[in-house]
Amino acid sequence: MELKETTISETTVYDGHIIKVRLDEAKLPDGSTAPREVVVHPGGVGIALEDEEGKFFFVTQYRYGQGQVMLEYPAGKKEPGEDPLETAKREIVEETGYEGLGFVHLGSLVPTPAYDTEVIELYYAKQGEFRGQHLDADENINLTRLSLDEITERIVRGEVTDAKTVAMTFLIKEFKERGTIA
Amino acid sequence: MELKETTISETTVYDGHIIKVRLDEAKLPDGSTAPREVVVHPGGVGIALEDEEGKFFFVTQYRYGQGQVMLEYPAGKKEPGEDPLETAKREIVEETGYEGLGFVHLGSLVPTPAYDTEVIELYYAKQGEFRGQHLDADENINLTRLSLDEITERIVRGEVTDAKTVAMTFLIKEFKERGTIA
């Protein structure tokens, strides 16, 4: 079955701080039309930073849309036109204070395919020199370090639900088993 | 560090078909205020349906916001007030034609914690009787079946990027290793 949809018209219905929202009209494969809502997001990165003892850095922060504190790998939004690897190198220092060494791209993740343009590029790196944490004014986070076994247990118990954190944890385990990352 | 943020005011800036968008003002732990954009989504389910040969059902569909055809586990939105297990039982028949037997809740996934209320409940089930596929008018999908090894290879090669599909694949493997699911 042919699946591709094409844009007939685009209407921006909200142009905000982080996101923009469009309500488009799309032509479906059978020739009919349908409304398509799209949240436009610049995309971002998630970074798994491993220390010398094999533990990974995690941030806990209040996630307003979820109404709860969540534990996640460090992450951040791309600046306009920024290469995601540069975003990753910048964000890991800003959030943890440490630079990353030997960045490896683990893959891309689409968190919300049905209605959002966001793509998260996933990176692995080793802990480097301390450069000093530098958070945004409205960003309050706590840092913690956990081994892959510890984070896996929290995921299995249902205590960690952030999609990138679940996906990255298992991808790192898979790539370590395959020898893709040391 | 105290992390909780509290809502000072809520303003709906877009009230659409599937999503609603709010621009709130929030009080941060230090007493200052910050704008918080929230995409309000009813939430949904993802279902891993295993056939008698140990293969799982996948749907490929055009994802308008991503501009590409993507391969994913069957999934769907909750109707207002609907129990997610009921959504899962309904959606698996609608998308694959088969009912699911012995549903197991694998966990909850938050795809976009920074700015979205969406939570996806993940389920595993065995393939039951054929009841007939029943798609929405604007829903065009192709069905395929893959083993856990096959979908894992596609994930590792970067061909499968949907967050729930990556997370569910590894959760199923983890739960099968632990004997939580047979």
User: What single string gives the DSSP state of each residue in A77-124?
Assistant: EPPTT--HHHHHHHHHHHHHSEEEEEEEEEEEEBS-TTTB---EEEEE
Q: Note whether B167 contacts A163, CB cutoff 8 Å.
A: yes
Are B11 and B78 members of one domain? Answer: no
8-state DSSP, B98: E
Q: Are residues B88 and B162 in the same domain?
A: yes
Nearest to B34 among A138, A161, A166 (CB): A138
Domain membership flag for residue A20: yes
Q: Are residues A36 and A48 in the same domain?
A: no
Pick from A171, A65, A157: which is nearest to A121 by CA? A171
Give the span between the Cα atoms of B138 and A2, in whole angstroms.
13
| pLDDT 10s digits, B83-92 | 999 999 999 9
Q: Could you list the residue range(s) of the whole structural domain that residue A158 is in? A: 44-178
**Any domain includes A66:** yes
Q: How confident is the model at residue A172 (pLDDT cuts 50, 70, 90)?
A: very high
Pair (B31, B83) in one structural domain:
no
Does A141 lie in the same domain as A101? yes
- In this structure, the answer to whether residues B18 and B54 fall within a common structural domain is no
B64–A166 C-beta distance less than 8 A: no
Pair A4, B69: CB distance under 8 Å: yes
Q: Are residues A68 and A130 located together in one domain of the fold?
A: yes
Average pLDDT over chain A reads 97
- pTM for the full predicted model: 0.97
pLDDT at A70: 98
Q: pLDDT tens digits for B172-181?
A: 999 999 999 9
Nearest CA in chain A to B165: A167
B19 with B33, same domain: the answer is: yes
Same domain, B123 and B169: yes
Q: Is residue A74 domain-shared with residue A151, that is, in the same domain? A: yes
Residues 78-117 of B with CB under 8 A from A: 107-117
Report in angstroms the alpha-carbon separations of B131 from A4, A39, B92, B143.
Answer: 27, 35, 10, 15
3-class state of residue A174 by DSSP: helix
Specify whether B132 is located in the same domain as B52: yes
Kindly report the three-state secondary structure assignment for every residue of A46-59. Answer: EEEEECCCCEEEEE
Measured between CA atoms, the residue of chain B closest to residue A23 is B16
- The structural domain count of chain A equals 2
Nearest by CB to B115, which of A13, A18, A119? Answer: A18
Q: What is the ipTM of this complex?
A: 0.97
What CATH number does residue A154 fall under?
Answer: 3.90.79.10
- Tell me what pLDDT residue A1 has: 81
Q: Quote the distance between the C-alpha of residue B112 and its chain's center.
A: 11
**CB neighbours (10 Å) of residue B15?**
11
Residue A89 predicted with pLDDT over 90: yes
